[in-house]
Amino acid sequence: MTNHLIGPLDRFRVLDLTRIRSGPTCVKQFADWGADVIKIEPPDDASGYADRDSSDFQNLHRNKRSLTLDLKSADGRDILMRLVDKSDVLVENFRPGVKKRLGLDWDSLHARNPKLVLGSISGFGQTGPYAERPGFDQVAQGMGGLMSVTGLPGQGPVRVGIPVADLTAGMFCATGILMALLDRERTGFGQWVQSSLLQAQVAMLDFQAARWLIDGVVPEQAGNNHPTAVPMGVYPTSDGSMNIAVTGNRMWQDFCTVIDRTDLADDARFATARLRFQHRDELNALLFDITRTRTSADLTDALIATGIPCGPINKIDAVFADPQVNALGLVVEVEHPQRGTQRVLGQPIVLSGATPVMHSATPDAGQHSDAILQELGLSTDEVAALKERKVV
């Protein structure tokens, strides 16, 4: 194992058998914070899933070592099991039936290495009537209710512009693995950590789910309006538009002062949050006429001075030109032997005693196969023989 980083997770070895996005998102949390992550992939990946030259792939798989391994062969599975013996975590996103055929089911792995933590991400969970279905982010967005509350009223279902089910399933799984590793310090045993796109998406409904579960309300599309609060949403200005978020009666009164309409603060139609919500269309029509007379910069300065949350609606290039984004270090650089310096997304977590380090770019397939196999005790001749048979 190469001691590339002394970090909070540097004592752990993670085997990464994932692909697409949810699994790599999970594993990225370990790779960035110092774990020895071994990405195991087919010697000949004809799946069409792995475009190594894409910016997406380069961003997702940094800080890993790559071992090519044919898991359909007995020799390939034997090498994997030898790695399992020496590892702390294995993360996979196979369908349950595929996992069983490969011998990567929980019972088999736990019997082999009782200390191993298995992280499994699927489309719909490991049990239940949909367990064997293939999963895809947009399918989960639809089934999990998100597309029904996204978009303009009456527009029809709209997907969110990021793969939110994939990303959150990966993050939930990473959190579960960390809890299992902590619990292992007490019990001495690993656990099976499970998440899925559907579970993650339903969990992310948050207050929209509570509106149904507790209040019996089926939320509808609200467009750029906040589903329950007014004024909160997108407001036009003389040079574009911006987000404004006014909460509570005191902030409502301050807002009316900023826009020089204190009469609205005294208007009985808008006296409480509930009344403002009931008269949302009427109130917003009045506010739109007012905010259109101000520039975005002028209105932003006035609102911020009063403590009212607001901000621009940035395109992606403007996001990364923002001084606060730059101050937070959300973009980091990594050196690629062929591509040179690449900018990738950093971690949104700050620790007082540790810093994630981009120590290596996304590896070529099998870039570290020789070194990893030699760490397992294989000789140069044995490695050459495995290559000849296309096991690695």
Dump the DSSP string for 176-240.
HHHHHHHHHHHHS---EEEEEHHHHHHHTTTHHHHHHHTT-------TTS-SS-SSEEEEEETTE
Any catalytic annotation for residue 166?
Answer: yes
Task: State the Cα–Cα distance between residues 294 and 278, nearest whole angstrom.
Answer: 26
Q: Which helix (H) or strand (E) holds 382?
A: helix 380-388
3-state secondary structure of 68: strand
Task: State the Cα–Cα distance between residues 274 and 357, nearest whole angstrom.
Answer: 48
Task: State the Cα–Cα distance between residues 283 and 268, nearest whole angstrom.
Answer: 12
Can you give the three-state secondary structure of 86-118, one letter per residue?
CCCEEEECCCHHHHHHCCCCHHHHHHHCCCCEE
166, 239, 266, 289: which is the annotated catalytic residue? 166
In the chain, the N- to C-terminal Cα span, in Å, equals 19
Q: Which two tokens stand for residue 246?
A: 């006014």
Q: Is 294 exposed, middle or buried (0-12, 13-18, 19+ CB in 10 A)?
A: buried
Asked if 191 and 120 count as a contact pair (C-beta separation under 8 A), the reply is no
Active site residue ranges: 166
